[in-house]
Amino acid sequence: MPDTQNRRHCTYTQPYSILISLNDRQLELITLHSQLKLKKPVKVVDVTTQAVTQEELPKVFKVLDTEPETAAIILKGHGIVAISSSAVKAGQIAELIEETAMIAWNRKTQKVKENRYDKLYHHTY
């Protein structure tokens, strides 16, 4: 079981992360900002109810145990659970994930070419 003593979590239910969770196994990090902050795709954990039951907790802990640097997971059909040292930071992570999910979903459903988003989100300063 992961060390949660010095962590805070924020559950953040938003429509695009839910759409991704119902259609994919993970949220790919398609923007430079999400790649820099999150490092790895956000895993979807398949749960049967909105509140994770005692029987389903091992599914969540498996992701957290195998990838301890995980900043968040998406509970299938429910939404984002972001983990950080403060509730504010967890909320910021969740917001970034929702924004990334929105871009990913729009790209997927509108069949937008990857190059268009590369130009928008991979700025050279």
User: Which has the closest alpha carbon to 40: 99, 97, 121?
Assistant: 97
Q: In a 10 Å sphere around its CB, with 0-12 CB exposed, 13-18 middle and 19+ buried, how is residue 13 labelled?
A: middle
Q: How many secondary structure helices (H) and strands (E) does the chain include?
A: 5, 5
Q: Which residue has the higher pLDDT, 54 or 49?
A: 54
Percent of the chain at pLDDT > 90 equals 32
Average pLDDT over residues 21-50: 91
